[in-house]
Amino acid sequence: MTDTITRTALITGASRGLGLALARGLAEDGWTLIIDARGEEGLETVRAELAELTEVKAIAGNVMDPEHRRELAGAARESGGIDTLVNNASVLGPSPQPSLLDYPLGILEQVYRTNVFAPLALIQALRDGLRPGARVVNVTSDAAVEPYEGWGGYGSSKAALEQLSNILAAENPGWRVYWVDPGDMRTRMHQEAFPDEDISDRPLPEESVPGFMDLLTGDLPSGRYAARDLALSERE
């Protein structure tokens, strides 16, 4: 990627939280955007805001829906290809989180379908629309590597996504594949994970964006990164 070429990113789950913060950061940096979210009204509000800064196409839908993924792939082709895919959309599962012995298996399957299968399915749909040297970013969590009680469903799905990303990087050396832990954030999902707690002390998602920007514009190799550690190292 070069500064003389318009860079294009596709971000899922971009109507709030980290997805919205990252979309704003890229829009301010002049990227063309393709964004999605399940809520059409909220997504349109974001599209109108970002359209003041850059070219943006918003497509409402669920990443688990094959037709929606085809729409996103079509938008990528129409834009001339994309430089970055950010698989940010995910689900927590039940709130509060049950222990694994009590976890409803049907719901666990839906968590895996959203957090593991859908990102891979979208990558497969977009493979011909990814420009040379493209970045594929799969948003993960420290719950993928730490055995937090009550996080067996979400955490194990993110662990599966991490290993999927690791293998994807090995199989596709022409891409930069990153699995990125944004850190604890003050988001709706985090509040759902701790429904009875005050999470106002958690950092806003915007504090994780500089680390993502380092990955999308820098030359770091494929691998696992903590977004806020990257941002901190840049300041030191």
Residue % of the chain over a pLDDT of 70: 90
pTM of the prediction? Answer: 0.93
Angle between helices 118-126 and 152-171 (to 10 degrees): 30
State the pLDDT at residue 183.
Answer: 85
Kind and range of the H or E element at 71?
helix 66-78
The stretch 16-20 carries a mean pLDDT of 95
State the pLDDT at residue 56.
Answer: 98
State the pLDDT at residue 6.
Answer: 85
CATH for the stretch 8-235: 3.40.50.720
State the pLDDT at residue 113.
Answer: 98
State the pLDDT confidence band at 194, using cuts at 50, 70 and 90.
Answer: low
Interval 95-104: pLDDT, tens? 888 999 999 9
Q: Give catalytic residue positions.
A: 154
User: Would you list the DSSP string of 155-194?
Assistant: HHHHHHHHHHHHHHHHH-TTSEEEEEE--S--SHHHHHHS
The stretch 148-168 carries a mean pLDDT of 96
Q: Mean pLDDT of all residues in the chain?
A: 92
Does residue 191 surpass a pLDDT of 70? Answer: no
Domain boundaries, the chain: 8-235
State the pLDDT at residue 200.
Answer: 78
Half-sphere exposure of 141 (CA within 13 A, CB side): 28
Q: Which amino acid is at 37?
A: A
Q: Which range, of 32-41, 70-79, 119-128, 189-198, averages the lowest pLDDT?
A: 189-198
State the pLDDT confidence band at 202, using cuts at 50, 70 and 90.
Answer: confident
The stretch 151-178 carries a mean pLDDT of 97
8 A C-beta contact, residue 14 and residue 46? yes
State the pLDDT at residue 96.
Answer: 86
Structure tokens that stand for 122 in this block: 């979208």
